[in-house]
Amino acid sequence: MSTSSKNLPLTLIASILFAIAFLPLGTGFLAYFTIVPLFFLLEKVTLTDAIFYGYLFGLLSNIFSLFWIANATLPGMVGAVLILALYNIIFFVLYWLIRRKSLTWAVVGSPFLWVAVEWIRSHGTLGFPWLNLSHTQASYPVIIQFAEFTGEMGISFWLVLVNIGFYLLLKWKFKRKSIVILASLILLFAVPIAWGIHRLHKNPPEDTGFRVALLQGNVDPYLKWTKSFQKENFRLYYSMIQEAAEKKADFIILPETATASYLTHTRYELREYRQLVDSIGIPVLFGSLDFRDTDRRRYYNAAFLMHPTRRTLDRYYKIQLVPFSEKTPLADSFPFLYDIDFGQGNFSSGTEKTIFRVDGYRFATLICFEAMFPELVRKFVVKKIDFIVNITNDGWFGNTPGPYQHLFACLLRAVETRRPIIRCANTGVSAVIDPMGRITSRTKYNEKTILFANVPQKLKTTFYTRYGDITGKLSLSITGALSIIFLILARV
């Protein structure tokens, strides 16, 4: 088989390994090999090949990994994978550029290139960090503990180094010089595992004794917005709040858009919920929608905290909206995009990083997709919060990998910040995650239930929380420097 005839199988193998590594089946170890076929593919390709196979790998890996978005919006899924695939071209072209002059520099630079692409893909209006390679390791607590220093980008960087090791072992066919590579691979695994073991057994998080009730209503997301179901939806959560109160919860949490209404503009529901909260004497966090009376053109995905005997509601408006689902990217700059129907909403982004207070505890509320963004979470944590709440409605995606991938991202946020995460999901998976990234209690997907749990104690502020994503920014800078140097060398 010629070199060119191997390119398509290598692309397909890499795409399949990539997608399977993201499945909630404990298959994250496949990420140790997923880039290896790409290194072999990029050994002898033209610029045109690098662009073509970069896009093809991006297209296939995204389709295999994000197919479940089609359950909510097929046009949105198509738009997402077509755009997300473009980012992979950056890695392929830059690796090709450096590889032309130096295999050594291409290999050494590849972790920086990969992480730089992830950083770019994770920021801005089109920000979508869902498939950052680090997420494949979230179910391995002993591996991910060093994220308290590096953030998730450091885990991605480490994974590329591991892939380099296996690539060189195969390339050199286990000859004598492979001993150094083998030793390096052993060290690459030994260091994070040793730190993980040490961290997991040192000062395990204590129990605060603060008892939360997570109401998993398991409401069909398509049914709950129908007018005929509004009263039944209200009765469902009303009765669940009563049950949670009877079982001595200190704080009750409802999932994203649980009210299926504009709560502050729905007089009957608002009045009834206020009377209920006053009667039980327990604060309740509601997921709902909202708009300002002064500007009805702006609609928000919101969270409201209702305190007993207090007339005003504390509120938070979702800041990071889901592209092609909650809002069309760049539509404010290019209004014609509003006319393209992806089945998306038309929400506005919030601007305030609200910190809620309950019984002496300070917490932030992340709505759905926001849990995927380490930097956004970090900005909440520096405000000296005690725990993080994530309310979400993953029912749109059904019992697919999507809801579990979303859950796994929360494990990384817990480790990065050493803050417990309380996750309330409409259809599941609701969970309590300790600061070590371990799930201490959880529900099943697609069940109506109330999860009662005590909030774990927070740990000390991490290096990552203090100083931010140094790994990502450093990788971006080094990638820029390498690109300039090798563009100049290409002209010589």
pLDDT digits (tens, 9 = 90+) for 128-163: 999 999 999 999 999 999 999 999 999 999 999 999
Q: What is the DSSP string of 192-229?
A: HHHHHHHHHHSSPPPEEEEEEEEEE----TTTTTSGGG
Q: How far apart are CA 11 and CA 35, in angstroms?
A: 10
Q: How confident is the model at residue 337 (pLDDT cuts 50, 70, 90)?
A: low
- Half-sphere CA count of 220, side-chain side, radius 13 A: 6
Q: How far apart are CA 114 and CA 482, in angstroms?
A: 13
Q: What is the pTM of this model?
A: 0.93
Average model confidence (pLDDT) across the chain: 93
Q: How far apart are CA 3 and CA 14, in angstroms?
A: 16
Look at residue 207 and tell me whether its pLDDT is greater than 90: no
Going by C-alpha positions, the residue among 462, 478, 420 that lies closest to residue 152 is 462
CATH number of 207-458: 3.60.110.10
**Residue 419: exposed, middle, or buried by beta-carbon count in 10 A (0-12, 13-18, 19+)?**
buried
What pLDDT shows up at residue 256?
97
Look at residue 344 and tell me whether its pLDDT is greater than 80: no
Going by C-alpha positions, the residue among 30, 51, 40, 55 that lies closest to residue 7 is 40
Q: Residue 157 phi/psi, 5° resolution?
A: -60, -45
Element spanning 252, H or E: strand 251-253
Q: What is the pLDDT of residues 349-381, one digit of tens each?
A: 899 999 999 999 999 999 999 999 999 999 999
Structure tokens at 255: 């999932």
What pLDDT shows up at residue 335?
66
Going by C-alpha positions, the residue among 475, 470, 471 that lies closest to residue 109 is 475
Q: What is the number of other CB atoms lying within 10 angstroms of the CB of residue 487?
A: 12
Report whether 401 contacts 379 (CB < 8 A). no
Q: Where are the beta strands (DSSP E) in 307-464?
A: 314-317, 356-358, 361-367, 387-392, 421-425, 431-433, 439-442, 449-456
What pLDDT shows up at residue 310?
92
Going by C-alpha positions, the residue among 267, 356, 348, 246 that lies closest to residue 303 is 356
Q: How far apart are CA 38 and CA 439, in angstroms?
A: 34
Q: What is the pLDDT of residues 212-260, one digit of tens each?
A: 999 999 999 989 888 889 999 999 999 999 999 999 999 999 999 999 9
Q: What is the DSSP string of 268-323?
A: HHHHHHHHHHHHHT--EEEEEEEEETTEEEEEEEEEEEE-TT--S-EEEE--SPPB
Going by C-alpha positions, the residue among 376, 455, 447, 460 that lies closest to residue 423 is 455
Q: What is the DSSP letter of 259?
A: T
Look at residue 445 and tell me whether its pLDDT is greater than 70: yes
Q: How confident is the model at residue 45 (pLDDT cuts 50, 70, 90)?
A: very high
**Domain range list for the chain:** 3-202+469-491, 207-458
What pLDDT shows up at residue 178?
84
Q: How far apart are CA 59 and CA 57, in angstroms?
A: 5
What pLDDT shows up at residue 360?
94
Query: Mean pLDDT, to the nearest integer, of 416-420?
Result: 97
What pLDDT shows up at residue 219?
96
What pLDDT shows up at residue 125?
80
Q: Which residue has the higher pLDDT, 202 or 37?
A: 37
Q: How confident is the model at residue 205 (pLDDT cuts 50, 70, 90)?
A: confident
Least confident window among 87-91, 123-127, 355-359, 406-410: 123-127
Element spanning 170, H or E: helix 147-171
What pLDDT shows up at residue 142?
97
Q: Which residues pair with 314 in a beta bridge?
A: 305
Crossing angle of helices 470-491 and 103-121, rounded to 10°: 130
Look at residue 2 and tell me whether its pLDDT is greater than 80: no
Going by C-alpha positions, the residue among 439, 402, 404, 401 that lies closest to residue 420 is 439
Alpha helices in 338-443 (DSSP H): 374-381, 401-417
